[in-house]
Amino acid sequence: MKKLHNPAFAEALESNLRECILPYWTEKMIDPAGGFYGRRDGFDRLDADAPKGAILNARILWTFAAAYNALQTPEYLEIASRAKDYILNYFIDIRYGGAFWSVNPDGSPADTKKQFYAIAFIIYGLSEYYRACGDEEALRVAMELFDCIELHSRDREKGGYIEAATREWKPIADMRLSEKDSNASKTMNTHLHIIEGYTALLRVTGDERVREATVALLRIFLDRIVDHETGHLNLFFNDDWVREDDTCSYGHDIEASWLLVETAEVIGDPQLLEETLAVCRKVADAALEGLNSDGSLIYERHADGHMDRELHWWVQAENVVGQMYLAAWHGEPAGLDGAMRTFDYITRKLVDPDNGEWYWSRMPDGSINRRDDKAGFWKCPYHNGRACIEGLRLLS
């Protein structure tokens, strides 16, 4: 990997992280009753009665632990500790294992289904927290959740992982992460974030069971999920890995193009890393088919050819990192310039000048999207915080 160098860009990334993203969550989202509020709407109005999601809390945990690891600011570790404590006290299912999808504002269980995507994010957050402070309880719970996924989600006959189960680990009819997703038993998105969590866990443990599972997951991407003709990721599958949808997600393409390289690097097999780099270069190039001239990246292309040109915050964040990986890992000279152009779009169009946190998106007509949350079940500090943290690492 080639180290990148641009002090002005590094300063802009750190400033956005320290002055825009993280203060929003410490000043507006801490719930005096415990943990963090579940939602602020697109107009930044607090919804104190909103349920608290596992994904939101796990992503807060990861972001503040990672920010502490990058910048060594004590306050960030304090916030990460608050998130860790709340997750362990309220989201972990003591009776059946795993973690609830959501809890009520008072911490009582709300939706008790086991969505393996969410459990993987808790592993991701707890692993980064252990990396920050060596908390053995966090590592123990992360390994217990790993065992839950391996026991209840992994398909050892056909490969990969199923989406969800009931609280008692029984089959569940509706496996979807959200209403806009297909009700498929295996999806790219869940596999991407399980491998993300497993990679973080492998980094801090070196555990051979985690290594085996992580290698097997990477092979699933290289052999089944990546379409080698187009470079795009296939998104939805049945149990037998028959593709069930023909949508192309530029945001997930660019995100996977660097996350899978990170996984191969942590695994430490030079031959596997070389193969992964070759595949991920194709994935990154395919993702950038959705790049606009101003540096923004459109959301997705549907099976009928219709382009969804909404410009989501998370897609732009992942686009910054993906293009930096093109420069650092693939020797693409235009990668760093492309990342800087994307970040310029972000600072001009997505950062809210009133409170720093990014808007959900800009609509195709250029208007600010107020219908979706400023903070909530899916709107978290993870994508944009990680873009700044990973960008700083690549520029160090």
Given the structure tokens 């992942």, which residue do they identify? 318
What value, to the nearest 5°, has the Cα angle with vertex 156 and ends 151 and 162? 65
For residue 24, what are the contacts with CB-CB under 8 A and spacing of at least 6?
355, 356, 357, 375, 381
**Which 3 state secondary structure label does DSSP give 296?**
coil
pLDDT tens-place string over residues 361-387: 999 999 999 999 999 999 999 999 999
| pLDDT above 80: residue 65 | yes
Query: Distance (Å, rounded) from C-alpha 113 to C-alpha 271?
Result: 39
All domains of the chain in start order, with CATH: 7-395 (1.50.10.10)
Query: Distance (Å, rounded) from C-alpha 130 to C-alpha 201?
Result: 9
Q: What are the C-alpha distances in Å from 97 to residues 86, 158, 164, 196?
A: 16, 25, 14, 21
| pLDDT above 90: residue 176 | no
What average pLDDT score do residues 299-318 get? Answer: 95
Q: Are 103 and 110 in contact (CB under 8 A)?
A: yes
Burial of 297 (C-beta count, 10 Å sphere; 0-12/13-18/19+): buried
pLDDT of residue 182: 77
Q: Are 138 and 80 in contact (CB under 8 A)?
A: no
Given the structure tokens 């443990």, which residue do they identify? 205
pLDDT tens-place string over residues 254-298: 999 999 999 999 999 999 999 999 999 999 999 999 999 999 999
pLDDT more than 90, % of the chain: 94
pLDDT of residue 301: 94
Query: Distance (Å, rounded) from C-alpha 296 to C-alpha 345?
Result: 6
Query: Distance (Å, rounded) from C-alpha 297 to C-alpha 116?
Result: 28
pLDDT tens-place string over residues 324-361: 999 999 999 899 999 999 999 999 999 999 999 999 99
The Cβ-side half-sphere exposure at 214, using a 13 Å CA radius, reads 30
What average pLDDT score do residues 117-140 get? Answer: 98
pLDDT of residue 154: 98
pLDDT of residue 14: 98
Query: Distance (Å, rounded) from C-alpha 94 to C-alpha 353?
Result: 43
| Sheet of strand 307-308, all strands in order from the earlier edge strand to the far edge | 248-249, 300-301, 307-308
What value, to the nearest 5°, has the Cα angle with vertex 257 and ends 251 and 263? 125
Q: Are 244 and 198 in contact (CB under 8 A)?
A: no
**Residue 375, phi-psi category: left (phi > 0), alpha (psi -120 to 50), beta (remainder):** beta
Q: In the 8-state DSSP scheme, what is residue 186?
A: E
Residue-wise burial string across 253-282, b where 16 or more C-beta atoms lie within 10 A, e elsewhere: bbbbbbbbbbbbbbbeeeebbeebbebbbb
Which amino acid is residue 218, in one-letter code? L
pLDDT of residue 47: 98
pLDDT of residue 117: 97
Q: Which of 1-5, 39-43, 186-190 has the lowest average pLDDT?
A: 1-5
Q: Are 311 and 297 in contact (CB under 8 A)?
A: yes
The Cβ-side half-sphere exposure at 68, using a 13 Å CA radius, reads 21
Q: What value does the mean pLDDT of the chain take?
A: 97
Q: Is the pTM of this model over 0.95?
A: yes
For residue 265, what are the contacts with CB-CB under 8 A and spacing of at least 6?
1, 273
Query: Distance (Å, rounded) from C-alpha 371 to C-alpha 379?
Result: 12
Q: Are 345 and 316 in contact (CB under 8 A)?
A: yes
What average pLDDT score do residues 62-90 get? Answer: 98
Alpha helices in the chain (DSSP H): 7-15, 22-28, 54-71, 74-86, 116-133, 136-152, 188-205, 208-220, 250-267, 270-287, 313-330, 334-349, 382-395
pLDDT of residue 308: 95
N-to-C CA span, the chain: 13
pLDDT tens-place string over residues 178-219: 777 778 899 999 999 999 999 999 999 999 999 999 999 999
Q: Are 317 and 346 in contact (CB under 8 A)?
A: yes
What average pLDDT score do residues 82-94 get? Answer: 98
